[in-house]
Amino acid sequence: RLRGVSLTVFGFLRQPRLTLECALVPLLMRSLRIADELAASAATRGIEHPGERSSLRPLRLRVADGAVMALMLAASIGIVRFSV
């Protein structure tokens, strides 16, 4: 909501401070909220942990992973080849 602020060039020239305030304040508030959520997410995931990073189990490519990659590659090639 702009509460009576004109979005035209004339409106901006007539009230530049009010126009900028109405445009920038919501943008800054949303940016701050997103930054806060990202910081909380990073802290929850342990970004501040000083030790070595680890996983619960060793990560390796398995036969099923190779099959899915081959299927996706074939599907991608088919889409590119036959969608002319």
**Average pLDDT score over residue span 12-19:** 86
Give residue-wise pLDDT tens across range 20-30.
Answer: 888 888 899 99
Please tell me what DSSP assigns to residue 42: H
Q: Six-digit token pair at 17?
A: 């401070």
* Spatial distance between the Cα atoms of 2 and 7, rounded to a whole number of angstroms: 9
Q: Six-digit token pair at 50?
A: 């000083």
Give residue-wise pLDDT tens across range 28-75.
Answer: 999 999 999 999 999 998 888 888 877 788 889 999 999 999 999 999
Q: Phi, psi (5° rounding) for residue 7?
A: -95, 15
* Spatial distance between the Cα atoms of 79 and 73, rounded to a whole number of angstroms: 10
Could you tell me if residue 4 is left (phi over 0), alpha (psi between -120 and 50 degrees) or otherwise beta?
A: left
Q: Is the pLDDT of residue 84 over 70?
A: no
